[in-house]
Chain A
Amino acid sequence: MSGLGLDLRWIPRALGLGLLAFIIFGPLTNLVLWAVAERWYFPHALPLKYGFSYWVAVFAPRGNATGSLVNSVVIACLTVVISIGLAVPAGYALARLRLPARGLILLTLLIPQAFPNLPVYVNIARIFYQFGLNGTVLGVVLVHASHGLVYAVWIATAAFSALDKELEEAARSIGASGLRTFVDVTLPLAAPGLLASAVFVFLESLDEFTGTYFVGAPDVTTLPLLLYTAGAGGNYQIASITALILLVPSIAFMLVIERFLRADVLSKVGR
């Protein structure tokens, strides 16, 4: 009897979970299909011919994807260097040092999350134009860094706050200088958190579209811009291949940080 009851209760469960799986993986499957479809037209539910000829075209030495990929990676790396380079001292100061107007500083760092950033990018583009930064890699990096920096400072502040102060005090008491203590004790201890924020900033930069669209285009083409132009031109294979390239690092990151996404870790957010 109880076995039968259990079986029956799996019917709504399976229906619900199946529907959710379709909603989530249907569109993603569609993307993979488009990436390997040679010929696909209505009313055929599945591609008529599969192959990798578009991949060859995309990654050909003279194809535009290689250049965009290099651009994207260079921009993302520079963004990480700037964001983390500025966030580590700022995070340390916010977590450990006595600061005047600390609340005001934190509020200023929250503002980019509280306002829509499209009007901001529009005006950055106008300001950058006067300085000749429009259409340059540096201009795009600065826009990405201003966005990534905010996350990086939050995470760095959290990482430094979580450290046990006694270890630093012990180092100081046996005569290490402040800088030496920071480099040899504090920084290695905070490294996991800082690394996570570096990866996060890297991905944010890799996926960023709006700022690059206003500041970089058409001179600096990144993968999201290539995806957009290919899609707008109706070239769904190239757009889908580009989308897959963008998707892989993001999903990998999700699987890596899965343990940080546990409910108990996040229970303090927003309270």
Chain B
Amino acid sequence: MVPAVRRPSDLTPADDLSVPYSGDPMPQTLLGLLLVTPALAIVILLFIVPLASSITGAFEVDGGHGLGNFAKAFELYANDMAFTVVIVLSSTALIGLCSIAISGYLTLGSNPRAVAILRWLYRWPLFVPFIVVGQVLRTFLAKNGLMNSLIVETGLLTASQTTSFLDWRGIVIAFTWKQTPFVTLLLAGAMASLDRSMIESARNLGASRLRILFEIILPQVLPTLMVGLILGIVTMMSVLSVPMMVNAQTPTMITASMAFRINAYGDYGVANALGVVSLVMTSAVAWLYLRQTMRDHR
């Protein structure tokens, strides 16, 4: 759960409306509830109910309840779970590093033209749909794809030395390529809103830009970075197209295993058990983050 994310709760609270229309035919509360109910009903029926049934479904075994689905899921897909954790964690680390580097340069870069070019450049993947990312990188990273062809062309490697990146590395590259601009956007925004005077005085005292970035700027924007990365983790655990298109062999991510379990066997029990595992993984990350924030605020 990530309640600390982009929050509508930051918007103007309704209570500052001092009910100026005494002649309303309907009490405001009732009208409000009537207006909200349809949207709320859709979210509850089409998201929260299926989410709950994915959890209960994981414990259903032959009409009864038990842990059979989990036993089977761990027996068959333990490798995929480890694979998923490695992919998500390494992608998250790379996304974090790249977005710190880019937003750091956007904030501290001394040359306005270089900053402008970087600002224009970095955000292109933001609006490339995941399914397109999968297709694009599948042809780009293959053993005989454009990347290897260009490397062979420059003479750095021979054709027999090239390798395909269409395994876990391909997925990590795809996630990093697609998600970095989003986190950078948030992070650069947070950095831009910082008080410049501390940065300027540190610079006047002769601190290097790298030191200013890591010792002054980053600690202040850490909450934003964490929110961006957690949203990224939830997204990575939801995307089916990238693992299915970039990495077709086993081991693969549990998202692809879930789809396979349903398409090949119609086995909703094990698929839901894998779903619960993915829910636990994302909740664990969110919980660690929340606990840390609570501790910091105490």
Q: How far is the CA of A259 from the CA of B243 in the complex (A)?
A: 33
Shortest Cβ distance from residue B83 to the other chain A in the assembled complex, whole angstroms: 16
The listed residue (B11, B14, B147, B240) touching A213 by CB distance below 8 A is: B240
A116–B237 contact, CB under 8 A? yes
Interface centre among B33, B47, B262 (most CB of A within 10 A): B47
Tell me if A92 and B138 are in contact (CB < 8 A).
no
A150 to B282, CA, bound (A): 20
Smallest beta-carbon distance A253→chain B, Å = 6
Asked if B53 and A246 make an inter-chain contact with CB atoms under 8 angstroms apart, the answer reads no
Q: Shortest CB–CB separation between residue B20 and chain A, in angstroms?
A: 6
CA distance A261 to B126 in the complex (A): 11
Q: Which of A22-43 contact B (CB under 8 A)?
A: 23-31, 33-34, 41-43
Q: Contact partner of B193 among A158, A228, A264, CB < 8 A?
A: A264
The interface residues of chain A lying within 8 Å CB-to-CB of B238 are 116-118, 210
A231 to B246, CA, bound (A): 11
Nearest neighbor of B137 in chain A, beta-carbon distance: A27
With contact pairs A119-B51, A254-B126 given, residues A178 and B2 touching in the complex (Cβ less than 8 Å): no
Please state if A228 and B132 are interface contacts (CB–CB under 8 Å).
no
How many interface residues does B have (CB within 8 Å)?
110
B54 touches which one: A95, A120, A231 (CB < 8 A)?
A120
A218-271 with Cβ < 8 A to chain B? 224, 227-228, 231-232, 236, 239-240, 243, 246-247, 250-251, 253-254, 261, 263-271
List B contacts of A70 (CB < 8 A).
none
| Alpha-carbon distance A124/B46, docked complex (angstroms) | 7
Assess whether A270 is in contact with B8, with CB atoms less than 8 Å apart: no
Is B19 within 8 A of A98, CB to CB? yes
**Is B205 an interface position by the 8 A CB rule?**
no
Taking the complex as formed, is B5 at the interface, i.e. its CB lies under 8 A from any CB of chain A? yes
Q: Which of B46-96 contact A (CB under 8 A)?
A: 46-51, 53-54, 57
Find the B residue at minimum CB distance from A9. Answer: B111
Q: Give A206's nearest chain B residue, CB to CB.
A: B129
Task: Choose among B28, B50, B188, B190 the residue that contacts A97 (Cβ–Cβ < 8 A).
Answer: B28
Q: Does A102 contact B (CB under 8 A)?
A: yes
The 3 A-B residue pairs with the shortest CB-CB distance, nearest first, are A119-B275, A266-B189, A267-B193
Q: List 18 A-B contacts (CB under 8 A).
A: A13-B111, A24-B121, A27-B146, A30-B146, A43-B144, A96-B17, A109-B40, A114-B282, A115-B234, A119-B258, A119-B271, A122-B50, A142-B46, A153-B8, A161-B12, A224-B241, A254-B123, A264-B193
